[in-house]
Amino acid sequence: MDAAKSADESLDCIGLFCPEPLFQTREAVDGLDVGQVLEVLADDPAAEEDLTRFAKRAGHEVVSVEDRGDHKRFLIRKGN
């Protein structure tokens, strides 16, 4: 699987603001198996900082952050 293009699960957080995208991302990652990738779509300006900090602290990998103009697409791979 090319992680830059596909994900095991997708979470749409567009229209949600801090801390909701973070809470939903944490819950969604908890439901994945180690190594699976979660796609998160978010337009909250704080989302990039919040999600990258969460991933680093929780031992997950931010595979990519893609700016799509009106929102960002995050791919987060679940760690141990």
Q: Evaluate whether the domain defined by 9-77 bears CATH number 3.30.110.40.
A: yes
**Encoding tokens for residue 17?**
């603001």
Residue type, 80: N
- The catalytic residue among 16, 18, 32, 62 is 18
**Encoding tokens for residue 16?**
């949600």
User: What distance in Å separates the CA atoms of residue 50 and residue 1, rounded to the nearest whole number?
Assistant: 27
Domain coordinates of the chain in residue numbers? 9-77
Judged against a pLDDT cut of 80, whether residue 4 lies above it is answered with no
By DSSP bridging, strand 72-77 and strand 37-42 are antiparallel
pTM: 0.92
Residue type, 47: A
Task: Respond yes or no: is residue 13 known to be catalytic.
Answer: no
The string of pLDDT tens digits covering residues 17-75 is: 999 999 999 999 999 999 999 999 999 999 999 999 999 999 999 999 999 999 999 99
- Prior bond of 19 cis (ω within 30°): yes
